């Protein structure tokens, strides 16, 4: 029994909330219960539930990176997770006064057109544009599904928190928006939005079809898919992910680029690599079958992330910048999209992307055979083996795809563009608001200084210091590309499909040989 409780306690370093829930509500009942067997199964159920809470997150997806945190950050994560967001000992008004930007900063216009993926902003907001705008009622109907409501009124950000998000996802999302406001002082319009930090989209388009259907509630989150209408926004990891020691993207992307120069493509191992938690999706479980055995080599090097082993060995493989040693890297979604996609693409290795079911804010603009090699879900192992064989006998093409994938994340996805994406999305969104946002009573004013103050110590604070925008941008945001029209959208989607089909045709021909 004590044994069981102890092991749960150690799980609590991963999810103290779950543990607290357990210890406060379930444990006392269990202790009184007379039947040891029932107790045992209950415990088993709770443990499984906690484990599922754990795998529920895309945290596990980062395991793909095969790197991972040094052990101390696992412990540290407990500290950060316990982060009470107790700012009551800070005078909020006073804390913010120094940080309020009332700039008369002038910046030169930008003649740069934004990257292609900005076009999806128009598509994402189309359901409300078609209905003439967004009413307060539509926004408030998203409340039951939101972790928080965020407002910008008169250049100041306010947050009303409805429920906790996993780890510090919400905190770093607020942080990112605050930095956007420092980058473009006085340029963010008044707005009012609902945000959910979970993995999977929930606003099903089917529920809002038909002449008399309600308008869908606008809900922001990190990903969506073809049957949902959630509005996609850059995820927290661009400002860092302290719980797993993933550095802010600005620094990490540069380090990855440097590391790539040290490990030229032809010297990399001629196999496809994946490491992660196979339990988060069907495709990942299938991928396990592609492990090589003595009588079958699928050209794939597949590893399951073993936390305990990693810990025992002192997290030797914890440096992301040392992970790009294979010519091919497999990307397969876990639950929802996976944060790991940009790190995999950044390797300068040809990314083998198992057909994704979700998209984040940039991934819809990735083109098969240009930025990555598409892999079919069916006949997964066969497709992977074919991709590796093909690449190894067509070096220039494989290298080119690896290069262009990396170039995409290094250039189109650089922080300046991530900020500009947020800028344009929020501006386009606010143009649709048909009412003047007012600050709800329970909302709290936020500014960078206060947020830093609310963090006692640790990696989170360090990441905030690192990513704090110190000077406003001296150029205007890039210029929004026009919306797709039916011809250009159709042509783009058709090209994607054609490129994918082309790979399938090559594969079929190969099989017939």
For residue 93, state whether it binds ligand NAG (rule: CB under 6 A). Answer: no
For residue 98, state whether it binds ligand NAG (rule: CB under 6 A). Answer: no
Give the interface segment with ligand NAG, choosing from 43-51, 71-79, 224-232, 302-310 (CB under 6 A): 224-232
Q: Bridge-partner residues for 351, per DSSP?
A: 329
Compute the least distance from the CB of residue 472 to ligand NAG, in Å: 12
Number of residues that bind ligand NAG (CB under 6 A): 23
- Candidate list 228, 237, 253, 363; residue touching ligand NAG; CB under 6 A: 228
Residues 55 and 38: their CA atoms lie apart, in Å, by: 25
Joined together, the tokens standing for residue 176 give 């990112």
Of 104 and 266, nearer to ligand NAG (C-beta) is: 104
For residue 86, state whether it binds ligand NAG (rule: CB under 6 A). Answer: yes
Residues 10 and 130: their CA atoms lie apart, in Å, by: 51
Compute the least distance from the CB of residue 88 to ligand NAG, in Å: 4
Joined together, the tokens standing for residue 75 give 């412990």
Give the interface segment with ligand NAG, choosing from 161-169, 226-234, 276-284, 471-479 (CB under 6 A): 226-234
For residue 334, state whether it binds ligand NAG (rule: CB under 6 A). Answer: no
Of 251 and 461, nearer to ligand NAG (C-beta) is: 461
Up-side HSE of residue 129: CA atoms within 13 Å toward CB?
A: 12
For residue 201, state whether it binds ligand NAG (rule: CB under 6 A). Answer: yes
Of 136 and 322, nearer to ligand NAG (C-beta) is: 136
For residue 505, state whether it binds ligand NAG (rule: CB under 6 A). Answer: no
Residue 484 neighbours by CB distance under 10 Å: 16
Joined together, the tokens standing for residue 306 give 């073993």
Joined together, the tokens standing for residue 74 give 């696992």
- Which residue has 């604070």 as its token pair? 461
What x-and-dash track marks residues 43-62 binding ligand NAG by CB under 6 A? --------------------
- Candidate list 119, 183, 200, 371; residue touching ligand NAG; CB under 6 A: 200
Compute the least distance from the CB of residue 443 to ligand NAG, in Å: 11
Joined together, the tokens standing for residue 431 give 């143009």
- Candidate list 70, 357, 453, 483; residue touching ligand NAG; CB under 6 A: 357
Contact 93, 445 (CB under 8 A): yes
In the region spanning residues 397 to 456, those forming contacts with ligand NAG, defined by CB under 6 A, are 439
Compute the least distance from the CB of residue 29 to ligand NAG, in Å: 25
Compute the least distance from the CB of residue 444 to ligand NAG, in Å: 14
For residue 196, state whether it binds ligand NAG (rule: CB under 6 A). Answer: no
Residues 367 and 363: their CA atoms lie apart, in Å, by: 9
Compute the least distance from the CB of residue 292 to ligand NAG, in Å: 31
In the region spanning residues 463 to 502, those forming contacts with ligand NAG, defined by CB under 6 A, are 485-488, 491, 494-495, 498
Of 37 and 86, nearer to ligand NAG (C-beta) is: 86
For residue 154, state whether it binds ligand NAG (rule: CB under 6 A). Answer: yes
Compute the least distance from the CB of residue 167 to ligand NAG, in Å: 18
Distances (CA, A) of 419 to 108, 184, 467, 476: 17, 9, 12, 11
For residue 227, state whether it binds ligand NAG (rule: CB under 6 A). Answer: yes
Judged on CB neighbours under 10 Å (0-12, 13-18, 19+), 307 is: middle
Order across the sheet with 373-375: list the strands. Answer: 300-304, 269-276, 326-331, 350-354, 373-375
Type and span of the H or E element at 159:
strand 156-161
Residues 290 and 273: their CA atoms lie apart, in Å, by: 11
For residue 349, state whether it binds ligand NAG (rule: CB under 6 A). Answer: no
State the sign of the Cα–Cα–Cα–Cα dihedral 484, 485, 488, 489: positive
Compute the least distance from the CB of residue 224 to ligand NAG, in Å: 8
Compute the least distance from the CB of residue 445 to ligand NAG, in Å: 10
Residues 405 and 505: their CA atoms lie apart, in Å, by: 23
Compute the least distance from the CB of residue 264 to ligand NAG, in Å: 33
Contact 322, 262 (CB under 8 A): no
Distances (CA, A) of 98 to 389, 449, 474: 60, 8, 22
Of 112 and 377, nearer to ligand NAG (C-beta) is: 377
Contact 168, 242 (CB under 8 A): yes
Spatial CA neighbour of 130 closest among 76, 208, 189, 190? 208
Contact 22, 10 (CB under 8 A): no
Using CB under 6 A, list all residues that contact ligand NAG: 84, 86, 88-89, 104, 153-154, 200-201, 225-228, 357, 439, 485-488, 491, 494-495, 498
């Amino acid at each position: 029994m004590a044994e069981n409780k102890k092991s749960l306690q150690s799980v609590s370093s991963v999810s103290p909330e779950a543990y607290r829930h357990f210890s406060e509500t379930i444990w006392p009942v269990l202790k009184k219960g007379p039947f040891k067997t029932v107790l045992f199964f209950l415990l088993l159920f709770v443990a499984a539930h906690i484990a599922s809470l754990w795998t529920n997150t895309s945290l596990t997806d980062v395991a793909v990176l095969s790197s991972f945190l040094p052990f101390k950050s696992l412990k540290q994560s407990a500290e950060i997770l316990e982060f009470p967001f107790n700012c009551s000992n800070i005078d909020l008004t006073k804390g913010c006064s120094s940080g309020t930007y009332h700039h008369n900063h002038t910046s030169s216009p930008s003649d740069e057109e934004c990257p292609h993926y900005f076009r999806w902003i128009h598509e994402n907001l189309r359901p409300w544009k078609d209905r003439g705008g967004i009413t307060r009622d539509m926004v408030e109907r998203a409340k039951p599904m939101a972790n928080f409501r965020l407002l910008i009124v008169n250049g100041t950000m306010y947050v009303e928190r409805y429920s906790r998000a996993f780890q510090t996802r919400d905190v770093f999302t607020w942080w990112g928006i605050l930095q956007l406001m420092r980058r473009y002082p006085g340029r963010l319009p008044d707005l009012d939005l609902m945000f959910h930090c979970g993995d999977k989209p929930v606003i099903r388009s089917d529920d809002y079809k038909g002449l008399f259907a309600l308008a869908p509630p606008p809900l922001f989150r990190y990903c969506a898919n073809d049957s949902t209408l959630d509005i996609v926004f850059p995820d927290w990891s661009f400002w860092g992910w302290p719980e797993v020691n993933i550095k802010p993207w600005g620094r990490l992307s540069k380090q990855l680029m440097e590391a790539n120069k040290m490990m030229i493509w032809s010297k990399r191992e001629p196999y496809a690599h994946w490491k992660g938690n196979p339990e988060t999706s069907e495709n990942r479980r299938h991928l396990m079958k592609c492990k090589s055995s003595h009588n079958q080599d699928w050209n794939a090097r597949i590893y399951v992330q073993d936390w305990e082993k990693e810990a025992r060995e002192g997290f030797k493989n914890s440096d992301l910048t040392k992970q790009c040693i294979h010519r091919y890297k497999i990307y397969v979604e876990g639950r929802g999209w996976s944060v790991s996609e940009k790190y995999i693409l950044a390797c300068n290795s040809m990314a083998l992307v198992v057909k994704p079911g979700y998209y984040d804010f940039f991934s819809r603009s990735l083109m098969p055979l240009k930025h990555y090699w598409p892999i079919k879900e069916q006949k997964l192992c066969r497709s992977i083996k074919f991709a590796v064989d093909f690449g190894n006998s067509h070096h220039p093409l494989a290298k080119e795809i690896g290069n262009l994938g990396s170039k995409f994340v290094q250039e189109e996805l650089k922080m300046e563009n991530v900020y500009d994406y947020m800028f344009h999305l929020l501006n386009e969104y606010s143009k649709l608001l048909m009412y003047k946002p007012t600050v709800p009573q329970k909302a709290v004013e936020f500014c960078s200084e206060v947020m830093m103050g609310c963090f006692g110590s640790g990696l989170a604070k360090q990441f905030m210091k690192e990513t704090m925008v110190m000077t406003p941008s001296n150029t205007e945001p890039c210029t929004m590309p026009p919306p797709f029209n039916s011809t250009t959208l159709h042509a783009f989607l058709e090209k994607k499909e054609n490129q994918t089909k082309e790979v399938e045709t090559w594969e079929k021909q190969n099989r017939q040989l």
